[in-house]
Chains A and B, each alone.
Chain A
Amino acid sequence: MRVVGLEGRGGLGEWREAARRLLLAGVPPEAVEWRQGTDASADLFDQERGVSEQKAALKDATPALTVPRLFLDLAATAICHADPVRFGVLYRVLHRLQRDRNLLDVATDGDVATLHALAKSVRRDSHKMTAFVRFKEVGPCGDAERRRFVAWFEPDHYIVARVAPFFHRRFFDMDWMIATPRGIAAWDGKVLEVSSIPGQKTALSDDTEELWRTYFSSIFNPARLKVRAMQAEMPKKYWKNLPEASLIPAMIAGAEASVVAMGERMARDPPAFHARIEAAANAPRDAPPPLRGTLEELRAEAAGCTRCPLHCSATQTVFGEGPADAPIMIVGEQPGDQEDLAGRPFVGPAGRLFDAVAHEAGLDRRSLYITNAVKHFKYEMRGKRRLHQRPNAGEVEHCRWWLDLELALVKPSLVVAMGATALFALTGERPKISDVRGTIRRSEHGPAVFVTVHPSFLLRIPDATRREVEMAHFKQDLAAVAALAAPRA
């Protein structure tokens, strides 16, 4: 039996050295007895040293030991654990890793599971240290300007060195010291000092604690008492160093009474200022309502449209936009995801495509009135995505109310129907778009309707060559529109 004594205060180095030597000497895990700190007597060290000297001579001749990266991370964490069992578990896993390189992938293996459990306990302790350290302010030192704070904390494991960098990142502009029974960390603006010497608890008071205690008891909702949930996350062992914890027993004891008192307190008449606020709210607004019979009025009215159920799940009504005297009106199907969020028609991918092609065809978007047959986004949820759904005849029918009013106000000389839904809304016809594309249809008592495809159709064509052909065709269509509108302009 080989006895190895380690100081074991959270550093990986000493264990790593010892484990290397043992592994190179071919010592199996069951032949090692690991001891920690005061248990490890001097002669045991000597015995070990003998081995190390032998091995040091061998070192250059032996191939370097390798381990997976994950093992080093796990070992650096688990070594901070206070349980002496950690040395042996780590060595056993290290030993087995030499033959089974994928051992760490098997979380169901007994040794691996134990190692993970040790590391997890250290991580939790470290996390609780970042949470439950409470600094108290101490007076400045001499005439230095930096403020100074100290804390006392009692961790389960040797984690001070591991957690100190967190406090360094967080409290850079002040001096601080955290003392624990397992070591001390301190920052003075220049050096982060960490030692494993046990610290001393000092009695200090800090006036701000009273405000913190006030906050702690006021943010508590007595109607939701869940003491077990609290203790699972803030175990009692931490309470003695938390300034707020002494309030807890009284808060629990008084919870029920305060809920009962809350229930018994009858609703009283509202305070005086409530009447003033209500009066002010009911007073006429400053902004005049939009002029009757204008697009602005129509837009304001449409914003509150509930003619069909689509408004329930959409963000907002997406009304048409453009000059009130535009010679050309473009009509699409319905707003999509981006349009729904932005509240403007044709601003998503299809809209950008339309803008680009229209520009090439000699049409300036700013001179067009652009709108949709249906003014709310219709979609279904697929996982976390909103998938566009084609509006049905009923929805188009309901929304024609707005389209007809837009047509009546703008009075365009030419309307462009992009896609089947727009064509149906404008003419009541449902031919195949490919049969009527590029032709002019007459709406019942409205202006001429030029038919083309919806730009989103172009975006959905997977084949690049075909897409180019269709793009060119679409551009031709828009150029034809520009030519048709030109004589009047």
Chain B
Amino acid sequence: MKKSLKERLAILSDAAKYDASCASSGTVKRSSADTGGLGSTEGSGICHAYAPDGRCISLLKILLTNFCIYDCAYCINRSSSNVERARFTVEEVVWLTMEFYRRNYIEGLFLSSGIIRSSDYTMEEMVRIARALRVDHNFSGYIHLKSIPEASPLLIEQAGLYADRLSINIELPTDAGLAAYAPEKRPAHIRRSMGELRLKIDEANDATLQTKRKKRFVPAGQSTQMIVGADQANDRVVLTTSARLYGSYGLRRVYYSAFSPIPDASRKLPLIKPPMMREHRLYQADWLYRFYGFEIDEITANQPDGMLDLKLDPKLSWALANRHFFPLDVNSASREALLRVPGLGTKAVRAILSARRLRRLRLEDLARLHVSVKKVRSFLSTEGWTPNKLIDRSDLRSMFEPKPEQLDLF
């Protein structure tokens, strides 16, 4: 008997939840007041709800189908899994997207799919959905399509005309890991399609002589996801791979997804709780690399096993290993140096630079910037404050470590 739309929605959203990406930001501004249709994009994304797993729900994240001819060990939808299978029609996905959007539940659609028949057949169906939304329904909301591995470049190019973002998952940090867990996926091919997409995006961004206008092509760029904790790769390997992906393919984001147990798991996989803190630390390190001027080698240099410190955030951990760098004078240190102070974010640094042109700054001034004085005062000197020998204290680390939990009497 055919499953109802609701039953299939349950199956195909459950199947999609292991993809961490939910961003709806970074695209061009569009407005239905200009098109007469439905939908807008505002530059920054909007999270319309949060599930109790702490993740935001911004897009309708579903699979077109969870039938798949691939057998990737970490995936709930692999062909050898006994998970219940379902499939949407093109029209159903379009209808769900439009109706959810009209009620302000979502920013748009994030569509992925298991591979049915062939990569090209699957990708073609996904492109049909994006085209129907944009062309037939005059939809200006956000669309993120997952590129199907090995789909023809022509289809990817069509997808890029309708989608804000395209992504293809690198899945695991090393080629060897991918070979072991996802025998049908070819890492070289994944990299090649990222490279091709980057060239096309660059080309579209070059204003042509005739029109002096940029072509609209995947305006929110491409992203990818790496599963962390399914294979043995350490954080240094994970982050080095990310840096390479950012640098080589101009990715907007690399998502880290703590490997999460799945129903009917493959026997190849570890039965573990998802390493959530590790995932969190990787995101922090990723931020240090992208926005704080840290090189990956610096972040992992003082970690003998190549794993980030789970107790301390990577910036604090770096600072404690590089105490000669501190204390810095908040009233004279450079922007680059201030960005390395644990507890100072990019916004606080900007405010400090602006304010200190007109005032000598004191510790209590920093408090007004929502900076944790307790954290920064070991690393900064200000008007009226010098961290004396604080920086040399041998117990400095323990001052920042989380307090051991008190045990209950029994």
Seen from chain A, the residues whose Cβ lies within 8 Å of a Cβ on chain B are: 102, 105-110, 113, 127, 130-137, 147, 149, 151, 166, 168-174, 206, 208-212, 214-230, 233-234, 242, 244, 248, 251-252, 255, 259, 262-263, 265, 267-268, 270-271, 273-274, 277-278, 280-281, 303-304, 312-313, 315-316, 338, 340-343, 381, 383-386
Residues of A close to B13: CB separation below 8 A: 214-215, 218-219
Known: A267-B265, A383-B295. A274 touches B79 (CB 8 A): yes
Contact check: which of B18, B36, B82 meets A270 at CB < 8 Å? B82
The interface-forming segment of B159-167, B313-321, B360-368 is B360-368
Chain B proximity of A352: nearest CB distance (Å): 14
Contacting pair A384 B358 (CB below 8 A): no
Assess the A263–B14 pair: CB atoms within 8 A: no
A300-B129 Cα distance, complex, nearest whole Å: 35
Known contacts A234-B50, A251-B52, A268-B82; is-contact A208 B274 (Cβ 8 Å):
no
* B57 CB–A CB distance under 8 Å: yes
B267 with A267: CB separation less than 8 A: yes
Residue-by-residue, is B334-361 near A (CB-CB < 8 Å gives 1, otherwise 0)? Answer: 0000000000000000011011011101
Does A303 lie within 8 Å of B53, measured CB to CB? no
Contact indicator B100/A208 (Cβ below 8 Å): yes
Binding site for A on B (CB under 8 A): 5-6, 9-11, 13-14, 16-18, 31-33, 35-40, 42, 46-57, 60-62, 69, 71, 79-82, 96, 99-100, 102-105, 138, 175, 184, 188, 191-192, 194-196, 198-199, 243-244, 246-249, 258, 260-267, 271, 273-274, 276, 290, 293, 295-296, 351-352, 354-355, 357-359, 361, 365-366, 368-369
Whether B274 contacts A224 by the Cβ 8 Å rule is yes
B258 touches A210 (CB 8 A): no
Closest chain A residue, CB of each to CB of B195:
A341
Contacts of B192 in A (CB 8 A): 315-316, 343
Query: When the two chains form their complex, are residues B188 and A132 in contact, meaning their CB atoms are under 8 A apart?
Result: no
Q: Given known contacts A136-B103, A225-B52, A233-B50, is B260 in contact with A341 (CB within 8 Å)?
A: no
Which of A105, A255, A315 is within 8 Å of B357, CB to CB? A105
For the complex of A and B, list the 9 residue pairs with the smallest distance between their C-beta atoms, beginning with the closest: A229-B54, A226-B54, A108-B365, A270-B80, A172-B32, A341-B195, A107-B351, A169-B31, A220-B51
CA distance A135 to B103 in the complex (A): 4
Considering only CB atoms, which chain B residue lies closest to A178 in the complex?
Answer: B104
Besides A170-B40, A277-B71, 19 other A-B contacts (C-beta < 8 A)? A106-B354, A130-B46, A136-B103, A169-B33, A173-B138, A211-B100, A215-B60, A216-B51, A220-B51, A220-B52, A221-B55, A224-B53, A224-B55, A224-B258, A225-B53, A233-B56, A265-B264, A315-B195, A341-B195
Q: How far is the CA of A293 from the CA of B113 in the complex (A)?
A: 40
Query: Which residues of chain B come closer than 8 Å to A215, judged between CB atoms?
Result: 9, 13, 60, 62, 100, 105
User: In the complex, A215 Cα to B99 Cα: how many Å?
Assistant: 13
A219 touches B52 (CB 8 A): no
Q: Given A262-B261, A381-B243 in contact, is the A219-B51 Cβ separation under 8 Å? A: yes
A208 touches B261 (CB 8 A): no
Residues of A within 8 A of B290 (CB): 384
Question: From A226, which residue of chain B is reached at the shortest CB distance?
Answer: B54
B296: A residues at CB distance < 8 A: 381
On chain A, the residues within 8 Å of B80 by CB distance are 270-271, 274
- A contact residues around B258 at 8 Å (CB): 224
